């Protein structure tokens, strides 16, 4: 099984650049994530708030979304819920990257459709591993 996943990962990673949308209001966190993921071979776009979230999804067509839950103009939980209600977007994996550290926050995010949850400050290598894992699962 592990060898099979590794082969799928290698096929997947070598044949195309995958698109990641970052939704993060903190400028430094957004730039750090964007730079790290770009350096790791992903095509990245980002938003500082949720105002144009669904327009950006339609335009950019991300393969995965990194979502902060505390945004200045909208609740990240409501964005998660809205994603799941739209068939065109429901298959996009969403990983939450949040300062909310309570287990109840994580459980709620997962119930609303998040496939992963990282509490800030995050381990970038672990995040990259989770992104790769989710993208392999999505395209198997």
Higher pLDDT, 5 or 83: 83
As a whole number of angstroms, the distance between CA 51 and CA 72 comes to: 10
Task: Write down the pLDDT at residue 140.
Answer: 75
Structural domain count of the chain: 1
pLDDT tens figures, 56-107? 999 999 999 999 999 999 999 999 999 999 999 999 999 999 999 999 999 9
Task: Write down the pLDDT at residue 17.
Answer: 80
Domain that holds residue 34: 2-138
Residue 14: give its domain's CATH number. 3.40.50.2300
Task: Write down the pLDDT at residue 2.
Answer: 47
Task: Write down the pLDDT at residue 16.
Answer: 64
Residue 15: pLDDT band by 50, 70, 90 thresholds?
Answer: very low
pLDDT tens figures, 28-42? 999 999 999 999 999
Burial readout 77-90 (b: 16 or more C-beta within 10 A, e: otherwise): bebbebbeeeeebe
Mean pLDDT estimate for the chain: 90
Higher pLDDT, 79 or 4: 79
As a whole number of angstroms, the distance between CA 96 and CA 80 comes to: 9
Helices (H), the chain: 2-15, 27-39, 53-60, 76-85, 103-111, 124-138
């Amino acid at each position: 099984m592990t060898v099979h996943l590794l082969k799928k990962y290698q096929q997947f990673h070598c044949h195309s650049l995958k698109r990641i949308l970052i939704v993060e209001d903190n400028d430094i966190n957004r730039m750090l994530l964007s730079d790290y993921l770009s350096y790791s071979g992903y095509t990245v776009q980002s938003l500082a708030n949720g105002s144009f979230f669904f327009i950006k999804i339609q335009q950019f067509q991300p393969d995965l979304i990194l979502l902060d839950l505390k945004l200045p103009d909208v609740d990240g939980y409501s964005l998660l819920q809205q994603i799941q209600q739209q068939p065109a977007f429901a298959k996009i994996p969403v990983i939450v990257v949040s300062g909310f550290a309570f287990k109840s926050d994580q459980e709620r995010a997962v119930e609303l459709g998040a496939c992963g949850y990282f509490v800030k400050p995050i381990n970038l290598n672990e995040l990259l591993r989770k992104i790769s894992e989710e993208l392999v699962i999505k395209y198997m």
